[in-house]
């Protein structure tokens, strides 16, 4: 255990000084007008950080005592006890350092949108009908994951292919911390497998793109009525005869940005309009969020910003029963289970890997 490095890395007096300063500012926030919520959050961080670093300094003391016993004791049993104590203290210190990293990550990557519901968009890419089938597999994967989490999934709009896949599917996933769990799923997903339509057994490579957008509230985005062109039409495709008899489908064009959204999933025009507007708000909010990240040019936005949507982030290799996330260079060998919606381990690994990588690159 390198004691001098630990003392240089973690200066206990500085953290204590910061903690006490925040305590005083919080006490006087009623008179100063400082934001109590922000001060409480900062104080919580430095209080926990102080606890961990204080634990490291206590370990340093224990290590030095055990080291002295190991070096000076003549009794072999005492020497062995000193050696065991040193090893235990080292392991405990490593755990405390891991907790500090987790605490720093949680603070650095806290996103005010984490607790929001999301709009999920999946579009078939290269690969024709096989790409649309893969898009359907991805949608079912996220839908099953959502069900496991107790979230609600409602399709806003879809375009079904001849083979029953999705050329495009847009859905609203409603629940707690949906964006926090799914935000790193945005990007190009690639599949390598023998398509059901392939008679020769040749492996094909196809792609589908995934976009995850935090759901926007009306107060987040102002949309002027004069900026909208709203068209109504008869629904097409799967939907039933009762849907197709009336002009229930809605298409909305946001004139300033050219963004077009549509919905034909219900037989009621008002419900379709409401769903389409929710989609439009989220797209505009997501656009605003990306612009703000670009202006800040912060470490967070540079490392994990929405630009990743254009990148190939993951490959699903069926012949080798392997899923690989290229951002963190890690693989999982349970492709059927994951596509069935068992995503907890993968999502946690990806989030941790991306965030730790961003912190390390920023140092």
On whether residue 87 sits in a domain, the answer given is: yes
Contact 282, 274 (CB under 8 A): no
Least confident of 75-79, 107-111, 208-212, 277-281: 107-111
Of the candidates 165, 173, 223, the one whose C-alpha atom is nearest the C-alpha of residue 197 is 165
User: Model confidence over 191-234: pLDDT tens digits?
Assistant: 999 988 777 788 999 999 999 999 988 778 889 999 999 998 87
With the C-alpha atoms ordered 331, 337, 343, 345, is the resulting torsion angle positive or negative? negative
My answer on whether 66 and 145 are in the same domain is no
User: Radius of gyration (Cα) for the chain, nearest Å?
Assistant: 27
My answer on whether 104 and 247 are in the same domain is no
Q: How far apart are CA 356 and CA 363, in angstroms?
A: 11
Angle (nearest 5°) at CA 258 between 255 and 264: 95
Outline where 73-172 has alpha helix (H). Answer: 76-108, 128-149
My answer on whether 100 and 8 are in the same domain is yes
Q: Is 208 exposed, middle or buried (0-12, 13-18, 19+ CB in 10 A)?
A: buried
Please tell me the predicted confidence (pLDDT) of residue 363. 58
User: Model confidence over 283-337: pLDDT tens digits?
Assistant: 898 888 877 766 655 444 444 444 345 579 999 999 999 999 999 999 999 999 9
Q: How far apart are CA 173 and CA 117, in angstroms?
A: 6
Residue 118 has pLDDT above 50, yes or no: yes
Q: Is 33 helix (H, G, I), strand (E, B) or coil?
A: coil
The domain that holds 322 is classified in CATH as 3.30.70.1660
The domain that holds 271 is classified in CATH as 3.30.160.20
Please tell me the predicted confidence (pLDDT) of residue 296. 53
My answer on whether 305 and 190 are in the same domain is yes
Q: Quick one: pLDDT band at residue 155, thresholds 50, 70, 90?
A: very high
Least confident of 129-138, 139-148, 287-296, 303-312: 303-312
Q: How far apart are CA 151 and CA 103, in angstroms?
A: 27
Could you list the residue range(s) of the whole structural domain that residue 268 is in?
225-292
Under 8 Å CB-to-CB from 76, ≥6 apart: which residues?
none
On whether residue 113 sits in a domain, the answer given is: no
My answer on whether 123 and 203 are in the same domain is yes
My answer on whether 182 and 314 are in the same domain is yes
My answer on whether 194 and 268 are in the same domain is no
Residue 245 has pLDDT above 60, yes or no: no
Burial 80-106 (b: 16+ CB within 10 A, else e): eebeebbeebeebbeebbeebeebebe
- What percent of the chain has a predicted confidence (pLDDT) above 70? 91
Domain C-terminal end among 67, 86, 108 = 108
- Average the pLDDT over 157-164 and give the result: 90
Residue 163 has pLDDT above 60, yes or no: yes
Residue 132 has pLDDT above 80, yes or no: yes
Q: Quick one: pLDDT band at residue 362, thresholds 50, 70, 90?
A: low
Please tell me the predicted confidence (pLDDT) of residue 239. 43
HSE-CB for 279 with a 13 A CA cutoff: 29
Domain C-terminal end among 275, 292, 309 = 292
Please tell me the predicted confidence (pLDDT) of residue 268. 86
DSSP 236-254: -SSS-HHHHTS--EEEEEE
Q: Is 334 exposed, middle or buried (0-12, 13-18, 19+ CB in 10 A)?
A: middle
Please tell me the predicted confidence (pLDDT) of residue 246. 58
Number of domains in the chain: 3
My answer on whether 215 and 127 are in the same domain is yes
Please tell me the predicted confidence (pLDDT) of residue 236. 65
Q: Quick one: pLDDT band at residue 44, thresholds 50, 70, 90?
A: very high
Q: How far apart are CA 235 and CA 241, in angstroms?
A: 10
Residue 101 CA from chain centroid, whole number: 18
């Amino acid at each position: 255990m390198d004691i001098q490095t630990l003392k240089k890395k973690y200066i206990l007096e500085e953290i204590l000084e910061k903690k006490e300063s925040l305590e005083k500012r919080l006490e006087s926030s009623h008179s100063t007008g400082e934001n109590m919520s922000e001060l409480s959050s900062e104080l919580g961080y430095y209080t926990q950080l102080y606890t961990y670093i204080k634990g490291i300094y206590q370990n340093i003391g224990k290590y030095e005592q055990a080291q002295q016993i190991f070096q000076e004791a003549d009794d072999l049993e005492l020497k062995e006890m000193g050696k065991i104590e040193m090893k235990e203290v080292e392991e405990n210190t490593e755990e405390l350092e891991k907790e500090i990293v987790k605490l720093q990550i949680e603070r650095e990557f806290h996103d005010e949108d984490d607790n929001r519901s999301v709009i999920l968009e999946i579009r078939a890419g290269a690969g024709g009908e096989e790409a649309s089938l893969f898009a359907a597999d991805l949608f079912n994967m996220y839908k099953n994951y959502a069900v496991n989490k107790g979230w609600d999934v409602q399709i806003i709009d879809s375009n079904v292919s001849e083979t029953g896949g999705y050329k495009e599917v847009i859905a609203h996933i409603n629940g707690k911390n949906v964006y926090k769990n799914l935000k790193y799923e945005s990007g190009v997903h690639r599949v390598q497998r023998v398509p059901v339509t392939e008679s020769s057994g040749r492996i094909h490579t196809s792609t589908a793109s995934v976009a995850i957008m935090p759901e926007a509230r009306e107060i987040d985005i102002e949309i002027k009525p004069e900026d909208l062109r709203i068209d109504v039409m008869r629904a097409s495709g799967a939907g039933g005869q009762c849907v197709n008899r009336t002009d229930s489908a809605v298409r909305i064009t946001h004139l300033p940005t050219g963004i077009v959204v549509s919905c034909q999933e219900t037989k009621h025009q008002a419900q379709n309009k409401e769903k389409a507007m929710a989609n439009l708000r989220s797209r505009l909010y997501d656009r605003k969020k990306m612009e703000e990240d670009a202006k800040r040019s912060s470490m967070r936005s540079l490392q994990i910003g929405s630009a990743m949507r254009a990148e190939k982030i993951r490959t699903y290799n069926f012949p080798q029963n392997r899923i690989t996330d290229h951002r963190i260079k890690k693989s999982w060998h349970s492709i059927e289970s994951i596509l069935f919606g068992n995503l907890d381990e993968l999502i946690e690994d990806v989030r941790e890997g991306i965030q730790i990588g961003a912190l390390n690159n920023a140092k």
